[in-house]
Structure 1
Amino acid sequence: MKDGIHPEYYETTVRCACGSEVQTRTTLKDLHVEVCSQCHPFFTGKQKLMDTAGRIEKFKRKYAKAMPAEKQDASSPQ
């Protein structure tokens, strides 16, 4: 390796907003993160449920006027 072209490599502690700390090596001296594997919903299994009922009801109200017209057209003989 050439001298003087590579960044310094440090032993550092990664600190999360939840208080978790992990030891690692990196070119950064200090590393703070907002979310880590200890507090992220995907890794903890504590995922929040989305309120899809409100979205479905909004869709039904939006297209309620068009649905009866289509049913009448399909049931009437031509």
Structure 2
Amino acid sequence: MKRDIHPQYAETQVTCTCGASFTTRSTKTDSAIRTDVCSACHPFYTGKQKILDTGGRVARFEARFGKNAGAKK
């Protein structure tokens, strides 16, 4: 790497709104980063993810417009 062209890379404390915090490295000048969602509270990582019922939407579309409404002629 060339000297004096790269930003400083320092340890930074990341804090989530849920209260979880961890240390990482960043080029941000502040020594703290606040975030709304982290791996401790995001539904994808915690297993509390909601699955949308797309089957109900398809059935409602077919009831309105018929089963062959979207087929090419």
Q: TM-score range by the shorter chain?
A: 0.5 to 0.7
Quick one: which amino acid aligns to residue 24 of structure 2? T
Superposition deviation, residue 37 in structure 1? 0.9
SS in 1 for 2:64: helix
Superposition deviation, residue 65 in structure 1? 8.6
* Structure number, greater radius of gyration: 1
Quick one: which amino acid aligns to residue 17 of structure 1? T
Superposition deviation, residue 27 in structure 1? 0.9
Superposition deviation, residue 42 in structure 1? 1.5
Higher relative contact order (CA 8 A, sep 6+): 2
Q: Count matched residues.
A: 67
CA distance, structure 2, for counterparts of residue 6 and residue 59 of structure 1? 55
Q: Give the one of 35, 38, 42 matched to 2:37.
A: 35
SS in 2 for 1:43: helix
Alignment of 1:1-78 (within 5 A): 1-28=1-28, 29=30, 30-52=32-54, 54-64=56-66
SS in 2 for 1:13: strand
Q: Which runs of 5+ in 2 are unaligned?
A: none
TM-score norm. by structure 2 comes to 0.66
Aligned-residue CA RMSD in angstroms? 2.5
Percent of residue pairs identical: 49
CA distance, structure 1, for counterparts of residue 21 and residue 6 of structure 2? 27
SS in 1 for 2:23: strand
- Structure 1 stretches of 4+ with a deviation exceeding 6 A read none
